[in-house]
Structure 1
Amino acid sequence: MLDSDLTVDLAIVGGGFTGNAAALEAARRGATVAMFEAKTIGHGGSGRNVGLVNAGLWLPPEQVIEQMGAKAGQRLMGFLADAPARVWALIQNHGIDCEAKRNGTLHLAHSPAGQRDLARRHRQGRAMGWPVALLDASETARRTGSTAFHGALFDPRAGTIQPLSYVMGIARAATAAGAHLHEGSRVSHIRRHQGTWHLTVNGHHVRAANLLLATNAYFDGIEMGFQPRIVAVSYFQIATAPMPQAMRDRILRRGEGCWDTHTVMSSFRTDAAGRFIIGGIGNLEGPGRDIHLGWARRKLKQTFPELADLPFEYDWRGRIAMTSDHIPKLVRFGPDALAAFGYSGRGIGPGTTFGTLAAVALLENDDTVLPVMPVDAHDERLTTLREAYYESGAILTHAVAARG
């Protein structure tokens, strides 16, 4: 907790993947850096993440290029194709104990139409030089232990982690490199004065030459004349009791992380203790809790019948920062300042990459290192209405899905 005034080269607001990766890189380069987290490290969407270390974006390559243009789209996809390798390198180099499984991910086809979509993604990915493989229903059943899917797209670059352990590991590495990380330190006011950023934190005064706003979906109303414009969508996770060994030998026995092609998607993976973790869009802390829990139970019964009666031990939810075009944003909201947000459910690889490179760009005054060029402003319309739409849509879908 910050308890005195401070002057640094780089101030960072937000203690998730982006903020901690930036703090580590800045300290590694010899800069003085302070990160301020209102709660605890990983309290937000980073620690409450699905745990899938994906390569690329949720969007297929051709759509990224259509929206961004060939040069910018290929640049971003190139950086994010390498994002899992950056994550694995951090884990190895800093000895981060986070249940890392570099065994790939499976994007699962829930229907014939879903398999056709995966075939298009496979074709586009191969054209980009990505080592993805399209699996048929038989191979998918062999890998997942379920006959519920029509096929899958396998990405060997990807994998799974325990996300809170990962972000805390980055924080420890940043501290060891000399960064000052302050939990329980809410930034209440930010202003630019005489060429320097001035932050009010726990009533103390912080001066910074450079500023990175890394709150993503957890911006809490800092008085600063700028607010990241996103649609905040809840995504929950439910962990079962550990599976018996016989089930562990059949279900996701290679340890791939999975998500499906449903419009209201779901995800699942296993952890080191053998728990099966199922996730979906929705807020377990809202009025739809019982509906979401009921859906998860039915989904397990439908997809993995042998898990139908396995007790639920834990549940949690985080917020995802969505943008209309599902492209991450860097906004230069003032001199020597950047805001990074909008990973649209792909926080681990992009957050690590954007945070690391944002620190470099700010300290060296060099935007050419960034995955996307900063914009002066980004707006999202009808955010409150769209957030309500996502949650109500998830409740309605989960109320009727996986029945029968």
Structure 2
Amino acid sequence: MQNDPRSHGLWELTAPPAPSTTLLYGHVDTDVAIIGAGYTGLSAALHLAQESHDVVVLEAEEIGFGGSGRNVGLVNAGLWVMPQDLMATLGATMGRRVLDLLGNGPRLVFDLVEKHAIACEATPTGTLHCAVGNGGLENLRERERQWQALGAPVRLMDATEAARHIGSTAYTGALLDERAGTIQPLAYARGLARAAIGAGARIHTHTRVTGAQQAGEWWHLRTSGGGSVRARWIIVATNAYTTNMWPELRAELVHLPYFNLATRPLPPRLLETILPQRQGAWDTREILTSFRLDQAGRMVLGSVGALDRAGRAIHHAWGRRALGRIFPQLKHEPFETEWYGSIGMTTDAVPRFHQLAPNVVSISGYNGRGISPGTAFGMVLAQLICGQITMAQMPLPRSTTQPARARAAREAFYTVGSAVAHAGTGWL
């Protein structure tokens, strides 16, 4: 996208074409205007259109341009924070709502994939959270305890069993979550868009919203191409890729850069020894490593960092070392594609629900877990607008935006710190 092979890398090369869309010209009236064509916006559009609401999606770039088209493709259940920490943050009632919603999030994703025949390499065989050392194993043991108390199908494997599932002896154990899996993330976004259009939604790409003004019950939106929209509701679904409109959303998120490197399709003799059930995986390090296979058998390896300026060479060199340490049989496999983007982080790793103005709502801050939360929260916003739930029944509390403290310094620290860590001789 934008003639930049490092924006979406492998996913742009292997995803089915996006549905045909156009720049918005002229004026349109609609029930709901959705700003942003990522998972949240597209899920909301699909669910609203299925309830016979007229919907217009306005995307400044292309479908899946932000994190929805750049992530590693792990369809995880829940959030980064442990269940008990989430309930301590949100309270027992809302905490349990979020745990129920997002615990079933992967099922929602895979059901939508099946219902709408979305070609996105969906592989619902679970995920593996891999333990580094005894500390990592203790962390996973506590995660297992908390999730099993809620009835979740998660199971901690010892080093021997983990090695059989991973194809590597690098870890002291792994937590298998049978609810989860992997997808081709850009293909999923494009498939959601196609399904939303099929249900009656209109999607306009390369249409940046440049102004918003309320007049009575209506909102009037101006766009970069000279078009305009009049809507009763607005969903702001721009998350980490928020720009000039509603800048308070950008101000409360700290951007964490994340990159991925992908090999060529591996030969069958190597694939027999690696991730035999095609689970996606990541480890317990603070600067984590993620890895998975795509449908063609490419190894996709990722971590924190930006592939720009000096960081590109540093992270590439780290990738070569990390790949060889996890899978010695792949130490000579070259990387053929690379890409990176930004993750929107909140102060407590919990997403935020905002009513930015009357009939203007937003959920953002997925902290690196956007696929099932984005899909689920998009559905929830549609339910709110349809009157199927009330504000009091939302799974997240309505909160005011709060600028993240020392945001610029923290973002610089993540970029520079990940490069410094990856430049070391250790396995960070």
Q: TM-score range by the shorter chain?
A: over 0.9
Partner of 1:357: 380
The correspondence of residues 313-332 of structure 1 with structure 2, limited to 5 A, is 313-332=336-355
Partner of 1:136: 158
Q: Does 1:383 align with 2:407?
A: yes
How much does 1:143 deviate?
0.7
Partner of 1:206: 229
How much does 1:225 deviate?
7.0
TM-score, normalising length from structure 2? 0.92
Partner of 2:181: 159
Q: Does 1:259 align with 2:287?
A: no
Identity of aligned residues (%): 43
Moved more, 335-344 or 394-403: 394-403
For residue 67 of structure 2, what is the amino acid of its counterpart?
G
Partner of 2:5: none
> What residue ranges of structure 1 are gaps of 5+ in the alignment?
none
Q: What SS does the aligned partner of 2:274 have? A: coil
Q: Deviations over 1:235-276 (max 9, x none)?
A: 111100111101111100110000100000110100111100
Partner of 1:124: 146
Could you tell me whether the CA contact under 8 Å between 2:248 and 2:403 is conserved in 1? no
How much does 1:285 deviate?
2.6
Partner of 1:194: 216
Q: Does 1:150 align with 2:176?
A: no
For residue 175 of structure 2, what is the amino acid of its counterpart?
L
Could you tell me whether the CA contact under 8 Å between 2:125 and 2:279 is conserved in 1? yes
Partner of 1:46: 68
How much does 1:401 deviate?
4.9
Partner of 1:339: 362
Partner of 2:91: 69
Could you tell me whether the CA contact under 8 Å between 1:226 and 1:333 is conserved in 2? no
TM-score, normalising length from structure 1? 0.97
Partner of 1:22: 44
For residue 246 of structure 1, what is the amino acid of its counterpart?
R
Aligned length: 403
How much does 1:163 deviate?
0.2
Partner of 1:248: 271
For residue 350 of structure 2, what is the amino acid of its counterpart?
I
For residue 183 of structure 1, what is the amino acid of its counterpart?
T
Q: Distance in 1 between matches of 2:249 and 2:270?
A: 47
How much does 1:332 deviate?
0.5
For residue 399 of structure 1, what is the amino acid of its counterpart?
A
C-alpha change, 1:72 and 1:396, in structure 2 (3 Å) is same
Q: Deviations over 1:342-374 (max 9, x none)?
A: 000000000000111112212327224532132
Q: Distance in 1 between matches of 2:353 and 2:291?
A: 30
Partner of 1:8: 30
Q: What SS does the aligned partner of 1:288 have? A: helix
Q: Distance in 1 between matches of 2:254 and 2:401?
A: 16
C-alpha change, 1:264 and 1:195, in structure 2 (3 Å) is same
Could you tell me whether the CA contact under 8 Å between 1:238 and 1:315 is conserved in 2? yes
Q: Does 1:36 align with 2:31?
A: no
Partner of 2:423: 399
CA RMSD of aligned residues (A): 1.4
Q: Deviations over 1:315-337 (max 9, x none)?
A: 11121110010001111011111
For residue 341 of structure 1, what is the amino acid of its counterpart?
S
Q: Distance in 1 between matches of 2:425 and 2:244?
A: 36
The correspondence of residues 108-119 of structure 1 with structure 2, limited to 5 A, is 108-119=130-141
Q: What SS does the aligned partner of 2:332 have? A: coil
> What residue ranges of structure 2 are gaps of 5+ in the alignment?
1-22
Could you tell me whether the CA contact under 8 Å between 1:337 and 1:362 is conserved in 2? no
How much does 1:403 deviate?
5.7
